[in-house]
């Protein structure tokens, strides 16, 4: 073999080798089709879950502030001097509990004066009534003129009006005297006391004390405006109240109440609606000004399909899951999300009882055979 023939043989072998290498690299870089992926490929080990049909409550959670349902700033209605402070700071009080007594000597003297005036005018009224009776008898016998009888009647009517005026003055004196005692208008808890015996108080001054209702108590929070329809009754039975739950507020774990107020307008700046709840607070687990987490069940979705959120595949605006068919292959299926709560999500597009890939879906292609992972034995786990 001459040198020319040897060179051509070597060149041909190099060319064939390069072409074979290029074909191998091209085949490795080309993704397999769906049919090729499922045909002859080994089964992928995945974790599966079963789609369940059940009821799903629609719950919203918000940050709230504990507020008293009623708060009263106690102020005097007259200018006077404090004679007695009948309560202590922070003391629980009932409706009608005596709070303060003022110096009532001027008002008591005015009351006694009004009582005496009324007694005097009533005595005069009784005398005029007797005169009127005699005048009628004398007039019947023509012993006096009609004008004389009319004069007595006029005096009698004027005296009756004077007595009614005295009675009104007596009631005014009794009312003024009652202002010298201040009693609690509601059951609650007293705040800081701003006066002491001997202090001069006036109606325009600072409050003497503040009484706040503790039991029941309120909680104020806001909800998004898109929940308005459900908030005002959508999806609930007629007349059923919305339940408000504060987790971790009681020894049993939760404190339950109901919605007592929904604002009549949406805050245009925040797009939220203000809501208040009313809760029992006999053990005083909640305190005004306290920050709490509020949960509220708006309504319940009946007979819906529920999956774990971990099974959902997110691709832009699309949502899908891998469903295992009867042949044991994973099939990609688009779904629509209706509501998400915690680890679960309500979906449309999956039937109850279908098996859905939960873990291991990142290595799957449509048509890939799958095998459910078996739980490890206790010994192997150790």
> Residue 57 in contact with residue 300, Cβ under 8 Å?
yes
- Mean pLDDT on 275-282: 92
In the prediction, which pLDDT does 380 show? Answer: 44
> Residue 330 in contact with residue 364, Cβ under 8 Å?
yes
The residue among 170 and 361 whose pLDDT is bigger is 170
In the prediction, which pLDDT does 226 show? Answer: 85
In the prediction, which pLDDT does 35 show? Answer: 45
In the prediction, which pLDDT does 315 show? Answer: 87
Nearest to 275 by CA among 216, 220, 217: 220
Residue 316: is its pLDDT beyond 50?
A: yes
- Mean pLDDT on 1-28: 57
**Per the structure block, which two tokens stand in for 127?**
């005398």
CA distance 377 to 362: 26
The overall average pLDDT reported for the chain is 86
- Mean pLDDT on 49-78: 92
Residue burial 151-173, b: 16+ Cβ < 10 Å; e: rest: ebeebbeebeebbeebeebbeeb
> Residue 271 in contact with residue 223, Cβ under 8 Å?
no
CA distance 134 to 102: 51
The pLDDT tens digits for 133-156 are 999 999 888 888 899 989 999 999
Domains of the chain: 35-55+303-375 (2.40.420.20), 60-69+214-301 (2.40.30.170), 76-101+181-212 (2.40.50.100), 104-179 (1.10.287)
Check: pTM over 0.75? Answer yes or no: no
Residue 15: is its pLDDT beyond 80?
A: no
- Mean pLDDT on 41-56: 88
Long-range contacts of 85-91 (CB under 8 A, 24+ apart): 85/193, 85/195, 85/196, 85/197, 87/190, 87/193, 87/209, 88/190, 88/193, 89/190, 89/191, 89/192, 89/193, 90/189, 90/190, 90/191, 91/189, 91/190
> Residue 255 in contact with residue 188, Cβ under 8 Å?
no
pLDDT band at 7 (very low <50, low <70, confident <90, very high): low
In the prediction, which pLDDT does 143 show? Answer: 87
Residue 2: is its pLDDT beyond 60?
A: no
CA distance 340 to 356: 17
The residue among 200 and 16 whose pLDDT is bigger is 200
The pLDDT tens digits for 182-234 are 999 999 999 999 999 999 999 999 999 999 999 999 999 999 888 888 787 65
Residue 108: is its pLDDT beyond 90?
A: yes
Sequence-distant (≥ 6) Cβ neighbours of residue 246 within 8 angstroms: 64, 219, 254, 255, 256, 257, 279, 286, 292, 293, 294, 295
Question: In three state form, how does the secondary structure of the chain look?
Answer: CCHHHHHHHHHHHHHHHHHHHHHHHHHHHCCCCHHHHHCCCCCEEEEEEECEEEEEEEEEEEEEEEECCCEEEECCCCCEEEEEECCCCCCEECCCCEEEEECCHHHHHHHHHHHHHHHHHHHHHHHHHHHHHHHHHHHHCCCCCHHHHHHHHHHHHHHHHHHHHHHHHHHHHHHHHHCCEEECCCCEEECCCCCCCCCEECCCCCCCEEEECCCCEEEEEEEEHHHHHHHCCCCCCCCCCCEEEEECCCCCCEEEEEEEEECCCCECCCCEEEEEEEECCCCCCCCCCCEEEEEEEEEEEEEEEEEEHHHCEEECCEEEEEEECCCCEEEEEECEEEEEECCEEEEECCCCCCEEEEECHHHCCCCCEEEECCCCCHHHHC
In the prediction, which pLDDT does 34 show? Answer: 45
- Mean pLDDT on 282-307: 90
In the prediction, which pLDDT does 346 show? Answer: 93
Query: Rg for the chain (alpha carbons), in Å?
Result: 45
The pLDDT tens digits for 357-366 are 999 888 888 9
Percentage of the residues of the chain whose pLDDT score is greater than 70: 84
pLDDT band at 25 (very low <50, low <70, confident <90, very high): low
In the prediction, which pLDDT does 30 show? Answer: 44
CA distance 371 to 43: 6
> Residue 61 in contact with residue 295, Cβ under 8 Å?
yes
In the prediction, which pLDDT does 32 show? Answer: 47
In the prediction, which pLDDT does 29 show? Answer: 45
**Per the structure block, which two tokens stand in for 18?**
């390069």
Q: Are strands 44-50 and 370-372 parallel, antiparallel or unpaired?
A: parallel
- Mean pLDDT on 164-186: 95
CA distance 185 to 70: 10
In the prediction, which pLDDT does 13 show? Answer: 62
């Amino acid at each position: 073999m001459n040198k020319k023939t040897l060179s051509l043989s070597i060149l041909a072998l190099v060319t064939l080798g390069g072409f074979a290498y290029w074909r191998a690299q091209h085949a490795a870089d080309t993704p397999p089709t769906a049919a090729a992926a499922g045909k002859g490929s080994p089964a992928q080990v995945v974790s599966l879950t079963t789609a369940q049909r059940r009821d799903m409550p629609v719950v919203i959670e918000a940050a709230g502030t504990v507020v008293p349902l009623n708060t009263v700033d106690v102020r005097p209605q007259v200018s006077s001097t404090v004679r007695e402070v009948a309560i202590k700071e922070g003391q629980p009080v009932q409706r009608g509990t005596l709070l303060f007594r003022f110096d009532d000597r001027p008002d008591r003297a005015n009351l006694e004066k009004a009582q005496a005036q009324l007694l005097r005018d009533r005595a005069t009224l009784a005398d005029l009534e007797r005169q009127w009776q005699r005048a009628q008898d004398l007039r019947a016998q023509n012993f006096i003129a009609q004008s004389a009888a009319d004069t007595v009647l006029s005096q009698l009517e004027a005296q009756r009006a004077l007595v009614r005026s005295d009675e009104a003055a007596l009631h005014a004196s009794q009312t003024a005297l009652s202002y010298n005692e201040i009693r609690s208008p509601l059951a609650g808890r007293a705040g800081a006391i701003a006066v002491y015996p001997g202090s001069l108080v006036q109606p325009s001054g600072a409050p003497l004390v503040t009484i706040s209702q503790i039991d029941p108590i309120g909680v104020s929070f806001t909800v998004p405006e898109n929940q308005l329809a459900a908030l005002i009754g959508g999806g609930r039975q007629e007349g059923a109240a919305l339940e408000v739950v504060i987790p971790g507020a009681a020894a049993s774990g939760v404190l339950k109440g109901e919605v007592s107020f929904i604002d009549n307008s949406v805050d245009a700046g925040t797009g939220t609606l203000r809501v208040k709840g009313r809760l029992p607070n006999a053990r005083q687990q909640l305190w005004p000004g306290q920050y709490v987490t509020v949960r509220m069940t708006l309504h319940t979705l009946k007979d819906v399909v529920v999956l774990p959120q971990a099974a959902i595949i997110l691709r832009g605006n699309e949502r899908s899951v891998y469903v295992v068919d009867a042949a044991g292959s994973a099939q990609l299926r688009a779904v629509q999300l209706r509501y998400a709560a915690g680890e679960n999500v309500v979906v449309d597009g999956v039937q109850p009882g279908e098996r859905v890939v939960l873990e291991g879906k990142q290595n799957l292609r449509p048509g890939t055979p799958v095998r459910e992972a078996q739980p490890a034995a206790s010994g192997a786990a150790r």
